[in-house]
């Protein structure tokens, strides 16, 4: 018997999971993340589709996406490209327009989020009929690989400040590995105006405001398999500005 | 009520209580010991909060999980994925 049976909820008729993958210059990572997604979805038996939203990547990401579509089928891999780099919020809106799932996964396409957690997200969602399930790096056996002391300090410090100011009822606000009910994501994206990290924070804060229920799943975050991820002064400043804006307006 | 308003409200309540007890502006004959204890409270609270913050963030940084096995598992799966995709006809 499968050792995962304690985690696995029986796939229900009618539930379908659409995975939104906004991409920009992910030519190398896209085939890998798609392979992993297919692997874990096929193993779990859940109905799914993967929607690639490429923002005109100059490195040919879209061309690789077309190859993947030929390999896995146009019903499993959907392409919703855009001509230039536009915001994450609009990418979600654009991707959702033709999504046929009643649940939406959002995640990064750079392999920092691992599809192996997908069955855990689904089980958690079913456990409490949560409106959204958020992957957390800060609780349980969640964690990060590839961060030095400085990065960890900034991350925990920023999260602490966020918890004190916003008391959001979720441990990881800037994480972007989440499962939403489709209707919930639609209503939230409309209302959110921030950019970058703060956009993900605003989504959860607004979800709380609207009395949506939020569940959590510990996840491991593997930073930048193929390169260096920098967190410079600019990003910190815009994070603080965004946080203060949420503090004052929500 | 926004978070800012909640904070302002909370701070006002605490400040009002402090002024009332530490300075006894309404001449309620607040006992001297109460006034003595109350007077430095705001500073104590700030310093305590500062210490709590440092301790909490310090603890959380120290116990931040390092996902070594996750990284190794990922590397292994990347190799497997590349082979499988090549077999399926992907041209990288």
Taking the model in full, what pTM does it have?
0.89
| Encoded tokens for B67 | 């996902």
Listing DSSP states for A18-36 in one string gives EEEEEESS-TTHHHHHHHH
Question: Measuring CA to CA, which residue among A39, A35, A41, A36 is closest to residue A15?
Answer: A41
Q: Do the beta carbons of residue A195 and residue A149 sit within 8 Å?
A: no
DSSP three-state, residue A47: strand
**pLDDT value for A202:** 94
Token match 């085939």: residue? A31
The answer to whether B67 contacts A144, with C-beta atoms less than 8 Å apart, is yes
Strand A220-222 relative to strand A143-145: parallel, antiparallel, unpaired?
parallel
> Which of these, A32, A88, A31, A86, lies nearest to A56 by C-alpha position?
A86
| Nearest C-alpha in B relative to A223 | B71
Which residue in A71, A156, A220 is closest to B70 by CB distance? A220
Beta-carbon separation of A144 and B71 below 8 A: no
Residues of A with CB below 8 A from B65's CB?
137, 141-144, 220
d(CA A50, CA A43): 16
Q: Does the pLDDT at position A226 exceed 50?
A: no
- Across A230-242, average pLDDT: 83
Asked whether the predicted pLDDT for residue B3 surpasses 60, the reply is yes
Q: Which two tokens stand for residue A116?
A: 């192996």
CA distance B25 to chain A (A): 32
Kindly provide the ipTM of the predicted complex, given to two decimals: 0.89
pLDDT confidence band for A8 (50 / 70 / 90): low
pLDDT confidence bin for A233, thresholds 50/70/90? confident
For residue A249, list chain B residues with Cβ-Cβ distance below 8 A. Answer: 2
Among A43-57, A70-84, B20-34, the range scoring the smallest mean pLDDT is: B20-34
User: Is B70 at the interface with chain A, CB within 8 A?
Assistant: yes
| pLDDT band (50, 70, 90) for residue A227 | very low
A19-25: average pLDDT: 95
The per-residue pLDDT for A221 is 94
pLDDT digits (tens, 9 = 90+) for B65-90: 999 999 999 999 999 999 999 999 99
- pLDDT class of A12 with cuts at 50, 70, 90: low
Does the beta-carbon distance from B81 to A35 stay under 8 Å? Answer: yes
d(CA A83, CA B44): 57
Which of B56, B74, B90 lies at the smallest CB-CB distance from A160?
A: B56
Kindly determine whether residue B74 and residue A114, on different chains, have CB atoms separated by under 8 Å.
Answer: yes
Which residue has better confidence, B32 or A15? A15
- Indicate whether A6 pLDDT > 70: no
Name the residue of chain B whose CA is nearest to A205's CA.
B3
Residues A95-139 have pLDDT tens digits of: 999 899 999 999 999 999 999 999 999 999 999 999 999 999 999
The percent of residues in chain A predicted with pLDDT above 70, rounded, is 92
**pLDDT class of A176 with cuts at 50, 70, 90:** very high
pLDDT of residue A89: 87
User: Which tens digit of pLDDT belongs to each residue from B33-69?
Assistant: 888 888 999 999 999 999 999 999 999 999 999 999 9
Name the pLDDT band for A9 (thresholds 50, 70, 90): low
Mean pLDDT, chain A, integer: 91
Closest CA to A178 of A249, A250, A125, A231: A125
pLDDT in tens, A206-220: 999 999 999 999 999
Q: Output DSSP code: residue B67.
A: -
């Amino acid at each position: 018997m499968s050792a995962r049976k304690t985690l696995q909820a029986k796939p229900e008729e009618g539930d379908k999971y659409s995975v939104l993958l906004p991409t920009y210059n992910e030519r190398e990572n896209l085939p890998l993340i798609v392979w992993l997604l297919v692997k874990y979805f096929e193993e779990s038996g859940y109905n799914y589709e993967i929607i690639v939203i490429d923002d005109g990547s100059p490195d040919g990401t879209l061309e690789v996406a077309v190859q993947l579509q030929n390999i896995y089928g146009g019903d499993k891999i959907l392409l919703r490209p855009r001509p230039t780099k536009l915001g994450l919020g609009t990418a979600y809106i654009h991707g959702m327009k033709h999504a046929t799932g009643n649940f939406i996964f959002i995640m990064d396409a750079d392999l920092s989020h691992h599809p192996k957690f997908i069955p855990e997200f689904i089980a958690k969602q079913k456990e409490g009929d949560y409106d959204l399930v958020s992957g957390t790096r800060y609780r349980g056996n969640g964690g990060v690989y590839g961060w030095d002391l400085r990065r960890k300090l900034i991350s925990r410090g920023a999260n602490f400040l966020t918890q004190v100011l916003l008391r959001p009822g979720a441990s990881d606000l800037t994480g972007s590995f989440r499962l939403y009910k489709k209707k919930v994501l639609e209503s939230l994206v409309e209302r959110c105006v921030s950019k970058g990290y703060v956009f993900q924070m605003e989504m959860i804060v607004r979800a709380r405001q609207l009395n949506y229920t939020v569940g959590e799943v510990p996840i491991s975050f593997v930073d930048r398999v193929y390169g260096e991820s920098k967190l410079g002064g600019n990003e910190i400043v815009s994070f603080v500005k965004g946080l203060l804006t949420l503090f004052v307006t929500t | 009520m926004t978070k800012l308003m909640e904070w302002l409200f909370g701070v006002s309540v605490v400040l009002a209580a402090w002024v009332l007890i530490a300075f006894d502006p309404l001449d309620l004959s607040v006992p001297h010991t109460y006034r003595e204890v109350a007077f430095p409270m705001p500073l104590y609270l700030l310093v305590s909060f500062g210490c709590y913050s440092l301790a909490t963030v310090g603890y959380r940084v120290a116990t931040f999980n390092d996902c070594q096995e996750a990284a190794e598992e990922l590397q292994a799966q990347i190799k497997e994925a590349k082979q499988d995709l090549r077999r399926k006809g992907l041209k990288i």
